Amino acid sequence: MKNREREVIKTSIISILANIILAGFKALVGVVANSIAIISDAVNNLSDALSSIITIVGTKLASKAPDRDHPYGHGRIEYMTSLIVSAIVLYAGITALVESIKKIIHPEVANYNTTTLIILIAGILVKFILGMYVKRKGKEVNSDSLVASGSDAFNDAILSISVLVSALIYMAFNISLEAYVGVLVAIFIIKAGLELIKESVDNMLGLRVESDLAKAIKKDINKEKDVQGAYDLILNDYGPDRYLGSIHIEVADTLSAADIDKLSRRITKMIAKKYGVILHTIGVYSVNTKDKEGMAAKKEITKLVFAHKGILQMHGFYIDKKEKTISFDIIIDFKIKNREEVYKEIYDEVKEKYKDYKIEITLDIDTSD
pLDDT by position in tens, the chain (length 369): 557 778 888 888 888 898 898 888 888 888 887 777 678 778 778 877 877 888 788 878 887 888 888 887 888 887 887 788 778 778 877 887 887 788 788 876 667 778 778 888 888 898 889 888 888 888 888 777 777 777 777 777 777 777 788 878 888 888 878 778 778 878 887 888 888 888 888 888 888 888 999 999 999 999 999 999 999 999 988 876 678 899 999 999 999 999 999 999 999 999 999 988 999 999 999 998 877 888 889 999 999 999 999 999 999 999 998 899 999 999 999 999 899 999 999 999 999 999 999 999 999 988 888
Coil/strand/helix, residue 332 = strand
For the chain, what's the residue count? 369
Pairing of strands 277-287, 311-320: unpaired
Q: What is the per-residue pLDDT for 9? A: 85
- The beta-strand segments (E) located in 132-242 are 229-237
pLDDT for residue 271:
95
Q: Model's pTM, two decimal places?
A: 0.68
As beta bridge partners, residue 279 has 245
Every domain of the chain with CATH number 3.30.70.1350 lies at 211-364
**Predicted local distance difference test score (pLDDT) of residue 256:** 94
**φ/ψ of residue 248, rounded to 5:** -110, 140
CATH 1.20.1510.10 residue spans of the chain: 2-205
- Could you say which architecture CATH assigns to the domain 211-364? 2-Layer Sandwich (3.30)
- Rounded CA-CA distance 118/195 in Å is 32
- Topology adopted by domain 2-205: Alpha-lytic protease prodomain-like (1.20.1510)
- How far is the C-alpha of 324 from the C-alpha of 302, rounded, in Å? 19
Q: Is 102 exposed, middle or buried (0-12, 13-18, 19+ CB in 10 A)?
A: middle
Residue 80 has what pLDDT? 83
Helix or strand or coil: residue 68? coil
**Do the beta carbons of residue 260 and residue 284 sit within 8 Å?**
yes
Phi, psi of 38 (to 5 degrees): -70, -40
- Per-residue pLDDT at 241: 67
In Å, what is the CA distance from 122 to each residue of 43, 119, 155? 17, 5, 15
Residue 310 φ/ψ region, left for φ over 0, alpha for ψ in the -120 to 50 degree band, beta for the rest: left
